[in-house]
Structure 1
Amino acid sequence: MIFSYASWKEKLASAGKPAEQATAAAPAEETEEEMEAVSEETADIDLNELTASMDSQVQEVFFNRKGQGEKVQFLIIGSEAMNDGEPGYAELLTDALESSYEGFVETEVMSFEGTSEEFLMSGPELSTGYDVVLMEPFTLKNNGRVEIETEHVHIQNVFGEILSAESDAELVLHPPQPIYGAQFYQTQVSALEQFAEMRDYAYINHWEQWPSTEDLALKEYLTEDSNPNNTGAAVWADALIAYFTGS
Structure 2
Amino acid sequence: MLQRILVVLSFIAFIAITIVGGIYWNNQQNEVIQGKVKVEAQETERGEQSGTVADANRTELQAKVKNLPKSAQTAFLRAYDENKQVRIAFVGSLSLGKGIGGWSDLVSEELAEAYDDLVTISTYQIDGSSNEFIVKGMADEVAEEKFDIVMFEPFTLKDNGTIGIDNSLKNLTTAIEALKEANSNITIIIQPPNPIFGAVNYPRQVEEDLKGYAEENDLPFFDHWDKWPDYQTQELLKYLDKEGMPNGDGHALWAEAIMNYFVAED
Q: TM-score range by the shorter chain?
A: 0.7 to 0.9
Could you list the per-position Cα deviations for residues 93-144 of structure 1 after superposition, in whole angstroms to 9, with x for gaps in the alignment? 1011101110111100000111101111011212221110001000000001
CA–CA distance in 2 between the matches of 1:241 and 1:114? 26
C-alpha spacing 1:212/1:133, structure 2 compared with 1 (3 Å): same
CA–CA distance in 2 between the matches of 1:216 and 1:105? 38
1:84–1:228 CA contact under 8 A, matched in 2? no
1:83–1:91 CA contact under 8 A, matched in 2? yes
C-alpha spacing 1:211/1:89, structure 2 compared with 1 (3 Å): same
**What is the Cα deviation at residue 63 of structure 1?**
2.1
**What is the Cα deviation at residue 52 of structure 1?**
1.4
- Counterpart amino acid of 2:145? T
Tell me, which stretches of 5 or more residues in structure 1 are unaligned? 1-42
Identity percentage over the alignment? Answer: 30
| Between 49-58 and 129-138, the greater mean CA deviation after superposition | 49-58
- Counterpart amino acid of 1:242? N
Query: Where does 1:87-102 land on structure 2 (aligned, <5 Å)?
Result: 87-102=101-116
CA–CA distance in 2 between the matches of 1:69 and 1:159? 28
**Aligned residues, how many?**
206
Which structure dedicates a bigger proportion of its chain to helix? 2
Root mean square deviation of aligned Cα: 1.8
State the TM-score, normalized to the length of structure 1.
0.78
Q: Which residue of 2 aligns with 1:136?
A: 153
**What is the Cα deviation at residue 69 of structure 1?**
3.2
Runs of 4+ in 1 over 3 A off after TM superposition: none
Give the secondary-structure state (helix, strand or coil) at the position aligned to 1:74: strand
Give the secondary-structure state (helix, strand or coil) at the position aligned to 1:242: helix
Out of 246, 254, 259, which is 1:228 matched to?
A: 246
Tell me, which stretches of 5 or more residues in structure 2 are unaligned? 1-53
CA–CA distance in 2 between the matches of 1:144 and 1:180? 16
Query: Where does 1:143-162 land on structure 2 (aligned, <5 Å)?
Result: 143-162=160-179
State the TM-score, normalized to the length of structure 2.
0.73
Q: Which has the higher contact order (CA 8 A, sep 6+)?
A: 1
